[in-house]
Amino acid sequence: MLNEECVRPKGADMAFVQKAIAANKKSPCLFENKINRMGFGIHHYAGKVMYDAEGFVDSNQDTLPTDLANAALLSSNEILAKHMNNDSCMNFTSKSPSDEDKKGAPKRAKSNIVAPTVWTKYKGQLMSLMTMLKQTNSRYIRCIKPNKLKKPVIMEHMSAIEQLRCAGVVAAVTLSRSAFPNRLENLVVRFKFWQLWDPDRFPSKATSSMQPAEKASCDCEAILTCALKPLEEINPKTGKPYTIFVVGKTRSYFKMGALEFLESHRSAGLDKYAIKIQAIARGFVTRLKINGSQNDRKNAIFVLQRWVQSMIAKKAAKKEADRMRKEQAKLAAKRQREQEENAWKAQLEAEMEEAEYSAKKEYKKYEDRLAELKEQLAEAEARHKERTEELNDRLESAKNEAEDLKIKLETELKFAAAEPAKLAAAQKTKLEESGKLITFLQKENKKLKSSHDKAKKEYKKVKETNERLVSANESAGQSFELLQNQSKKLNTNTDGINKNIEKYKQENAKLREDLKARQAFYNAEAQIRLQYQKTLAQILDVFQDNCKDPDLVEDVVCVALECESEAKALLAAAAAAAPDL
């Protein structure tokens, strides 16, 4: 009516009031103000409220020239440019002007005469709000004022009931109770009450070609028919049972007491499944107990087996440790022998070098002495030869002189016969001279003989010395050859020793690798022992907690302690067997 007055030429506020009163004349909520013809009253819940209609038409028109609106949209002010349209201020979905401009022919410019009114905008916004609310799952909250004093912890029941009645809550509850007050989603019904369904007696009409919602509706129909069978009552007029529930496409509706019946019998429907679960659980617990006792026996057997295995491993480890000690002793002895051989070899080489050096030095000294003696011998032979030749020459000359004197004497004797006296004196003188000469020659001959004998003796000495030097040289050569042979033998022995050293080094490397491998084996064995001890400790804990036989517990604890002590002894033996690793 207000929009009509705004659009109609010469529309007035008085005409709007008269039309409103005439249209709602029979309504008790609208009444006429008898004092002011421009006014009217509305009977609200809070009381009667009087309104003055003066200026309603002008206020509803909210006329703004189109040019000014377009200019405001082009303004640099963000508030004017973006928020002039009320629809833009709301989160309502509407077509953008750009999309509308793209489709169809261009629209005519808006007129200032026929412009949207305040009521039209409000109605459009309200319709948009209702459309948006229909697309959501809304929950309405009604605020109830507990008292008129606005104080805490005070409740006025009559006022609260009047507010609920005025809000329509009581009427809605009354209507819902009279028909189908309770409702649930079909999926919820199928999930909550499937245990009350007997598919053999009440099969579902669902097929594989149906949609999920249709299948859920058919399943709910069968479930509720089976579950609410005890509540069925026959209508005496029709002879058919009363309708207790109705299944729709997405929801199921229940009459008063039907949903309570389902909720109360829901736990009873779960009894058979609870019995099955209990049977399975009790069977599991019983089997667990049986298996637990069997496991206890198995654990005891495992403990004994591990103890026996530990004893066997201990003996094997002890044998291995003894063998390793023997190998270590052999290796140490071999190293000692190698060190002694190396020391003896070094000493022998030093002695050989020293003997060879002294032999070479002595040989050189003998060679020098021999060369010197040879020179002396050559000089002595030369002197002896010269002296002998000189003596021979003198002897020959003496012999010649003696023969000459003899001839001369004979000649003179012949003349002496003629002249005996002269000749006798001269002869006598000559004889004396000859005797002196012979004596002198004899003396000289003796001297030459003695010097010749001395030269012979010296020559003999030199010859003996030469022979002695030759024999010494030969003995030095033999000793040098002997030393060379010994050196060759030593070199041969050294080569053999070097080969043996290489062989021993290879054997030593192999023994070290073997020792490392055995040490790793011992370490792994120790880790296994440690794991066995931890497992045994866990077994002991479980055994002490669950076993009721104290003697058996004590025996198992003793066995565990023995295993632990043996493992420690084994680790100590392994550490003593290989201290360097």
For the entire predicted model, the pTM comes to 0.30
Share of the chain above pLDDT 70, in %: 83
**Residue 552 — pLDDT band, cuts 50, 70, 90?**
confident
Residue 198, C-beta contacts closer than 8 angstroms, at least 6 positions apart: 226
**Residue 454 — pLDDT band, cuts 50, 70, 90?**
confident
Cα 1 from chain centre = 84
The pLDDT assigned to 179 comes to 73
* β 182-185/48-52 pair status: unpaired
The pLDDT assigned to 91 comes to 46
The pLDDT assigned to 100 comes to 44
C-alpha 92/C-alpha 191 separation (Å) is: 38
The pLDDT assigned to 99 comes to 46
373-399 mean pLDDT: 78
Contact 70, 80 (CB under 8 A): no
Higher pLDDT pick, 226 / 476: 226
pLDDT tens digits, 245-266: 889 888 988 888 888 888 888 8
The pLDDT assigned to 413 comes to 63
* Residue 521 clears pLDDT 50, i.e. is over it: yes
C-alpha 65/C-alpha 501 separation (Å) is: 120
Return the residue matching tokens 């033998």.
489
Q: What is the mean pLDDT of the chain?
A: 78
Q: Which of 280-284, 352-356, 552-556 reaches the highest mean pLDDT?
A: 280-284
C-alpha 314/C-alpha 572 separation (Å) is: 12
Cβ count within 10 A of residue 338: 16
* β 39-43/30-32 pair status: antiparallel
pLDDT tens digits, 425-443: 666 676 677 677 777 777 7
Residue 415, C-beta contacts closer than 8 angstroms, at least 6 positions apart: 423
pLDDT tens digits, 285-317: 888 777 776 677 777 778 778 888 888 888 888
pLDDT tens digits, 146-197: 998 889 989 999 999 888 888 877 777 776 666 777 888 999 998 888 888 8
Q: Which of 83, 90, 290, 272 is CA-nearest to residue 195?
A: 272
